[in-house]
Chain A
Amino acid sequence: MSQARHSGEHSSGSPRTVRDVVFVDGVRTPFGRAGEKGIYAGTRADDLMVKCIRELLRRNPSLPAERIDEVAVAATTQTGDQGLTLGRTAALLAGLPRTVPGFAIDRMCAGAMTAVTTTASGIGFGAYDVVIAGGVEHMGNHPMGSGADPNPRFMSERLVDPAALNMGNTAENLHDRFPAITKERTDAYAVSSQDKLAAAYGKGQIQPDLVPVATLKPEQGWTLNSVDEPPRPGTTLEDLAALRTPFRAHGRVTAGNAAGLNDGATAAVLASSDAAAELGLPVKMRLVSYAYAGVEPEVMGIGPVPATEKALKNAGLGIDDIGLFEINEAFAVQVLSFLDHFGISDDDPRVNRYGGAIAVGHPLASSGVRLMNQLARQFEEDPSVRYGITTMCIGLGMGATVIWENPHHPGYGTATGSGPESVTEGAAA
């Protein structure tokens, strides 16, 4: 146990020191295309999660499994192979000691991100030293919205436009709100996402995060999946122009400029900086601040804007302090609305260097940790960057943003904005 926790116990009511939270390591399964032909058809979601947890332990042999204080696993649909309190079942199935607790968590697309920030808060408070946080979504087994029973009051009282329950419609709505974002721009953005991912694969920047998963298909036998299935490298503007606009006749949103329907899992180890030092765990990023914000459900894609503004304010930083952006690409229009708001160009090299969900896929609740894995690798590659953000939009009108500091930056550990010695009262304002 740490000093901070002791001081808290002995002086309840007095201000307590927030402990620094660090991102130790993260992994993910290769992502698959949802559906009968996808690589994970016939594979269970919880098994995908288990592969990630076990890989984290293998990669971090100095972490004793019994030191893990919590396993938080997100899934949007928590039934069937994603039910039964996933964090706990995944911990048991992964062979973690029975003394390690776990829970399931849901914030739709930001599930894994919320698993990270929730457990990180627990670390900051002194409740945990080390946690595993992640998410899984097998959209083949659990199509979006399956089993959901929206309250009729949403419609009768016009609380939410029923169209807002369909994410594609909200993306079309976003085009209506921002006429400057044209289909040409979103398609161009989508092509660059595919290109950037292909380039990152070529440089071996994606593969290190992946946990190979063996799968068995009828009349095919076992195979090993070690790369993502969704990418379509070489996609051209002409290819995209030919696609249907399924959400609106003559609309702008297509399967090509949006993330697909995918299967996959992610998991990360977070620790207090003290515990990381004690156990000899690597520090890939330091958590600076995070924020969630609500927006109109009909234009949920704009959520990252207020979430980021709030997180920057919490951190005492400005947008210009951010050197790298990992923004989830649910829809190209949603990314562009964010970039336009902050005056960042569509092809800014700080944004999604490895491409994004349009190319790699977006298994809803798992994606948050993928963004963090990639930001962590970019931090390592680019010590000139001090701060980066991971941000994503969330169904029913929300945004989520986490700001991280690069430990490889020469100024790491010195006070700028929100330093390691910040105090809770300030951060919560």
Chain B
Amino acid sequence: MSAADFTKLAELFPDETVTHSYVQDIALPAAHGKPSPGIFALVTLDNGLDHSKPTTLGPNTLVELGTVLEGLRERAARGEIVGVGVTGKPYYLVAGADLSAVKSLDNREHGLWMAQLGHDVYATLANLGVPSFAFINGVALGGGLEIALQSTYRTVSTGAGALALPEAFIGLVPGWGGVYILPRLIGPENAVQVMIENPLSNNRTLNGPQAFKLGIADAMFEPADFLEQSLAWAAEVISGDVVPERSNAVDPSLPGTADRWTAAVAAGRAFVEGKTSNASPAPAKVLDILEANRTMTQAESAALECETLAGLMQTDEFRATVYAFLDLVQKRSKRPAGAPDRKLARPVTKVGVVGAGLMASQLALLFARQLKVPVVMTDIDQARVDKGVGYVHSEVDKLLGKKRISQDAANRTKALVTGSVSKEAFADADFVIEAVFEELNVKKQVFAEVEAIVSSDCILATNTSSLSVTAMAEDLKQPERLVGFHFFNPVAVMPLLEIVRAPKTDDAVLATAFELAKGLKKTGVLVKDAAAFVVNRILLRLMGEVTAAFDEGTPAEVADSALRPMGLPMTPFTLGAMVGLPVAQHVQESLHTAFGDRFSVSANLQKLIDNGITSLWVPSSGGSQEIPESTLSLMSFGTSPSTGEEVLRRTQDALAEEIGLMLDEGVVAGAEDIDLCMILGAGWPMFLGGITPYLDRTGASERVNGKRFLAPGIASRA
């Protein structure tokens, strides 16, 4: 076949932003006084756009690249060229398959063509009749890195970042040869790390030196003259002066390899189970192909890869991931729905934090590190203040110890954070946030005191998770200056910030809040002042359903494992223990007050709290976990147990109901914001699309609300 045979696929994408394949003939530099080894054809992948528009591989792009490579194969046969190189525009080799295009392939046949097109083009690259070289100058993801893997030799820039095979994360497999070549090039254990562990660890990527160390590249050069040195190296390879060593390479036919291979696959499967509960099909498929292809030819593996890709492209897990990753995390998070014009934002040059407890201290550290403005913490006595400031200083020292920051940066951050027992210290602050006890009257008292001291422009913010921001603003002289600023634990890690608009909050205050969120490197989502906002309301509705099933008599292991098919980061009971049972119960009570019996308060849970029990599960002697008899004896249970399926369905329905109500109430601008919040605030998986695509595809939305949250095609097949 030739790339031109796929023109009918390319024609489905008339609007593709094509990454062109430009060829330049280069007389290779002569080494050591020898004559030049000959003419080298260098292909540059370039979409003609600046660095903010990554180059991608769509059908038209691949047809063009394939056609160009076929031309070079003919030139090689005629003896006109001695080698072929592929490199990219600045900062990119190529960022990978055009996911928007792939996502829109609703016909399995078309998906198969796409998979076969990639293989056809890359097979040409791998069989030019002369050596091929990839010069990895920058980002190389998925099909981008596979171009490099399919080349005979590779160089990488020390300045390159984002080198990865993220397909398992996206919902696909590295099926343009990566899954076949990588284990042979760097060993099956390393290949599992790159193809499974990294994608499933927040989509971690490799930089140039890491890729070189693994053996993905044969040589590494600095960015200042990366291409020149890569070409000089290619000349030496072609003339035989340099023979790259591949110390991690593995020949699967050699004795002993089978055991290594099997062990690596098994380790990968355990990792996938731990990370996803196998709720998404893609990671296991990667390992299936890896396991099978040890004894396969490359062509046999390619056929399996194409079939697998074609199947996965039609899964809703893949569609939901692309929606979550591209539409939400990469796009919507940068343009928050409902945020006022950023020009209205006021500068924040000093921050006040009321309270010096753990939450307040985490906030002080975050503000000082990210905004680099003075932060003053207050509390009722010097001991508390000293403890809070001491916490920040010790955290800074930890960062210094880990060499995450320099000594100068540590000095600067420590100097920025001070403490006081007097709120007078807030007099020149532009933004004061409280993190005191979750009690409305306490917070109102705090704000009354602060408002008496600060300037009329100073913004007041509350980190409440369960109280009414509207009520908190009621007695303020300037209620328009109060905004909710709800962080998630641990503050330094979780990327979500729920920005709560109370009825009187004005646009300048809100605009400042969104700019602050950006300055803090958080994603701000605008939410209405409704009890528990978004993430906690959904989490507690979920935990409430599972707890209720447990209270009704469902065995704990059945209730707590019922949601495994969702692949959530932890089970409901584990989550409750992590949040802290009293905190969970407190928020649940607030939600019960606000919304009634949809949020049932568990008497059993209260008994545990009353008895100082912090977790239902405790580790058992056998390494698993169990609920001790002493804990069980505190509680009383009903006589109507549910099956796991029933608990799952009940929870799906409850979530569909709750989210439907939240959208009706206008808590957020749309279902997309619910999904964004659950991904960034609760770590819910992208293959659920956050949550509403999952509720749509399981039918819960239709069952409960009579309609889907998202139209077909947005996060699912059209």
Q: Which residues of A contact B (CB under 8 A)?
A: 47, 50-51, 54-55, 93-95, 211-214, 216, 218-224, 226
Contacts and interface: CB of A to CB of B under 8 A. Distances in A.
Given A213-B228, A216-B46, A224-B228, 8 more contacts: A54-B225, A214-B231, A216-B44, A219-B48, A221-B23, A221-B42, A224-B231, A226-B27
Contact of B46 (A211, A221, A224): A221
Given A95-B222, A212-B228, A216-B89, A222 B48 contact: no
Contacts of B90: 216
A7 B90 CA distance: 52
Contact of A224 (B22, B26, B224): B26
A42 to B, nearest CB: 11
A211 B26 CA distance: 15
B685 interface: no
A93 B222 CA distance: 11
Nearest to A50: B224
A222 B228 contact: no
Given A214-B231, A221-B42, A93 B224 contact: yes
A222 B24 contact: yes
B26 A54 contact: no
A95 B48 CA distance: 29
Given A212-B29, A216-B89, A226-B27, A221 B224 contact: no
12 contacts: A51-B224, A51-B225, A95-B224, A212-B29, A216-B89, A216-B90, A219-B20, A219-B22, A221-B23, A222-B227, A224-B24, A224-B26
A213 B27 CA distance: 13
B396 interface: no
B240 to A, nearest CB: 21
B413 interface: no
Interface in B21-41: 22-24, 26-27, 29
B87 interface: yes
A214 B224 contact: no
A222 B225 contact: no
B136 interface: no
A226 B46 CA distance: 23
Contacts of A226: 27, 29
Most B C-beta atoms less than 10 A away, residue of A55, A214, A216:
A214
Contact of A220 (B24, B26, B27, B228): B24
Nearest to B44: A221
Contacts of A211: 228
B328 interface: no
Interface residues of B, number: 22
Contacts of A218: 48
A212 B48 CA distance: 24
A222 B87 CA distance: 8
B354 interface: no
Interface string B371-397: 000000000000000000000000000
Interface in B214-241: 222, 224-225, 227-228, 231-232
B548 to A, nearest CB: 63
Contacts of A47: 224
Most A C-beta atoms less than 10 A away, residue of B46, B87, B225, B227:
B225
B43 interface: yes
Contacts of B228: 51, 211-214, 224
A211 B29 CA distance: 10
B436 to A, nearest CB: 47
B99 to A, nearest CB: 25
Most B C-beta atoms less than 10 A away, residue of A93, A221, A226:
A221
Contacts of B26: 223-224
Contacts, number: 60
Shortest beta-carbon contacts, A-B, top 4? A221-B44, A221-B22, A214-B227, A223-B24
Given A219-B48, A220-B22, A212 B231 contact: yes
Nearest to A227: B27
Nearest to A213: B228
A382 B22 CA distance: 45
Contacts of B231: 212, 214, 224
A216 B228 CA distance: 12
Nearest to B30: A207
A101 to B, nearest CB: 19
Contacts of A94: 224
Contacts of B232: 212
Contacts of A220: 22, 24, 44
Nearest to A93: B224
A275 B579 CA distance: 67
Contact of A222 (B42, B222, B224): B42
Contacts of B42: 221-224
Nearest to A222: B44
Contacts of B27: 224, 226
A50 B229 CA distance: 14
Contacts of A54: 224-225
B321 to A, nearest CB: 33
A55 B229 CA distance: 10
Contact of A221 (B29, B43, B222, B225): B43
Nearest to A214: B227
Contacts of A50: 224-225
Contacts of B44: 216, 220-222
Nearest to A211: B228
Most B C-beta atoms less than 10 A away, residue of A94, A221, A222:
A222
A60 to B, nearest CB: 16
Contacts of A223: 24, 26, 42
Nearest to B42: A222
A213 B225 CA distance: 8
A216 B135 CA distance: 14
Contacts of A212: 29, 228, 231-232
A50 B231 CA distance: 18
A203 B29 CA distance: 16
Most B C-beta atoms less than 10 A away, residue of A51, A95, A216, A224:
A224
A283 B42 CA distance: 38
Nearest to A207: B30
A183 B177 CA distance: 67
Contacts of B23: 221
Contacts of B24: 220-224
A50 B222 CA distance: 12
Contacts of B46: 216, 219, 221
Contacts of A214: 225, 227-228, 231
Contacts of A224: 24, 26-27, 29, 42, 227-228, 231
Nearest to B230: A214
A87 to B, nearest CB: 16
B657 to A, nearest CB: 55
A202 B222 CA distance: 33
A218 B27 CA distance: 21
Nearest to B28: A224
Most B C-beta atoms less than 10 A away, residue of A95, A212, A220:
A212
A397 to B, nearest CB: 38
B46 to A, nearest CB: 6
A212 B26 CA distance: 11
Contacts of B22: 219-221
B84 to A, nearest CB: 13
A222 B228 CA distance: 10
Nearest to A224: B26
A55 B20 CA distance: 32
Most A C-beta atoms less than 10 A away, residue of B24, B87, B90:
B24
A51 B48 CA distance: 25
Most A C-beta atoms less than 10 A away, residue of B26, B48, B228, B232:
B228
Contacts of B29: 212, 224, 226
A219 B22 CA distance: 7
A226 B42 CA distance: 15
A382 to B, nearest CB: 20
A51 B226 CA distance: 10
A50 B223 CA distance: 11
A45 to B, nearest CB: 14
B601 to A, nearest CB: 62
